[in-house]
Amino acid sequence: MASASSIPVSRSRMIFFMSSSRDVRPRSRLEYSQQRPAHGGPTSRKGAPMIWFTSDLHLGHESLATQKRGFSSLAAMEHLIIQNVNVRVAPTDTLYVLGDFSFRCTVEHARELREKIVCRKVHLIAGNHDKDWSRPEVTKTFSLDPPLMRMKTPEGQVLVLCHYPLLSWEAMRRGAVMLHGHIHSGMGEPAPGSYNARMREQGILRYDVGVDANGMAPVSLDEVLAWFDGVEPRVGQGL
């Protein structure tokens, strides 16, 4: 597996809606649409760039936008998701998309949407709906990563990244965190973050970074680490 070592991380920098290291409740789409700070506000950075994760944007997927996510139109969903990315992720940050950036649209349309994201370092771990981004005409749209990726922070925290949730992963007994998408947890649920809350309560260090579980916005590495801070990992647990 690929290793992304020596990644600059500042665990003290929480994103704008967090009042404490444990207050990481995902906000609803309505809350995000009403409370978006402009660039240079609370989400501006000083020092090392930040790392962010997201998944299952499904840009281009009209029926999902209007029938399951409750948007008035596909354009409204695409606008809000991209705006939320740009509010939080600075041009010099790094964003990992854990699959399904787009669905049911042309690769040209998907590339146009990617170009609206201000972050210059966008990595893609392919999901089951992603385009063939290795084609010569679009090969520079994303930095393409392997389907299963290992990341290690300077503090020694190991994270395993994949589009799909895993039952077992490298170093899980030693506190490695598994980040994934695919399952659209939160879509149609009363509490969008209930899956991630259940994982934490059960001592399973697995987190759905998909937009449906995180208020239609990316989640930072700082936020994920704070979410599991103090949790004693348990093994042998299912989904």
Give yes or no for residue 1 having a pLDDT over 90: no
CA distance 115 to 86: 11
Q: What is the mean pLDDT of residues 96-112?
A: 88
Provide the 3-class DSSP secondary structure of residue 43.
coil
Rounded CA-CA distance 46/103 in Å is 35
Percent of the chain with pLDDT over 70: 74
Distance CA(195)–CA(114), nearest Å, equals 28
- 146 pLDDT above the threshold of 80: yes
pLDDT at 7 over 50: no
Q: What angle do CA 147, 203, 198 make, to 5 degrees?
A: 85
Q: What is the pLDDT of residues 53-73, one digit of tens each?
A: 999 998 989 998 999 899 999
Q: What is the CA radius of gyration of the chain?
A: 17
The three-point CA angle 14-185-164 to 5° equals 90
Indicate if the pLDDT at residue 193 is higher than 60: yes
State yes or no: pLDDT of 12 exceeds 50. no
* pLDDT for the residue 48: 80
d(CA 223, CA 25): 10
Confidence of residue 148 (pLDDT cuts 50, 70, 90): very high
Predicted confidence at residue 2, as pLDDT, reads 42
pLDDT score of 226 more than 70: yes
**Of residues 193 and 197, more confidently modeled:** 197
Give the confidence band of 196 by pLDDT, cuts at 50, 70, 90.
very high
Q: What is the pLDDT of residues 77-95, one digit of tens each?
A: 999 999 999 999 999 999 9
Q: Which residue has the higher pLDDT, 160 or 7?
A: 160
Categorize the per-residue pLDDT at 4 as very low, low, confident or very high, splitting at 50, 70 and 90.
Answer: very low
Report the pLDDT averaged over residues 146-153.
95
pLDDT at 128: 77
- For domain 2-7+22-227, the CATH class is alpha beta
Sequence ranges of the domains in the chain = 2-7+22-227
Query: Are 228 and 206 spatial neighbours (Cβ–Cβ below 8 Å)?
Result: no
**pLDDT at res. 237:** 52
The pLDDT-based confidence of 47 (bands split at 50, 70, 90) is low
Is 80 exceeded by the pLDDT of residue 116? yes
What φ, ψ does residue 87 adopt, rounded to 5°? -65, -40
Query: What average pLDDT does the chain have?
Result: 79
Question: Within 10 Å of residue 229's Cβ, how many Cβ atoms?
Answer: 12
Confidence of residue 191 (pLDDT cuts 50, 70, 90): low
